[in-house]
Amino acid sequence: MTVFGPSGGALKDDDSITGSRFEDGMEVKCEAAEKVLSLHVMTPLEDYEGQKLTDLTVKDSQTVGQMKDLIAKITGLKSKQMIVAKGKAGERVGEDAQLNDAMLVSKAGYKDGEEVAFIYLGTLETELAPFIKTKGMKPK
Domains and CATH numbers, the chain: 1-33 (no CATH), 36-135 (3.10.20.90)
Helix (H, G, I), strand (E, B) or coil at 30: strand
- Note whether 62 and 104 are within 8 A (CB): yes
- Note whether 113 and 72 are within 8 A (CB): no
| Burial state string for 107-126 with b = 16 or more CB within 10 A and e = fewer than 16 | ebebeeeeebbbebeeebee
What is d(CA 7, CA 112) in angstroms, rounded to the nearest whole number? 34
Which distant-in-sequence residues (6+ apart) come within 8 Å of 134 by Cβ? none
Q: Strands (DSSP E) along the chain, which ranges?
A: 2-4, 29-31, 36-42, 52-59, 82-85, 115-120
For 13-62, what is each residue's pLDDT tens digit?
A: 788 777 788 888 888 777 666 789 999 999 889 899 889 999 999 998 89
For 54-103, what is each residue's pLDDT tens digit?
A: 999 999 889 999 999 999 999 999 999 999 988 776 677 766 788 999 99
Alpha helix ranges (H) inside 37-122: 64-75, 105-108
Which distant-in-sequence residues (6+ apart) come within 8 Å of 21 by Cβ? 5, 6, 7
Query: Residue 8: pLDDT above 80?
Result: no
- What is the dihedral sign for C-alpha 115, 78, 106, 87? negative
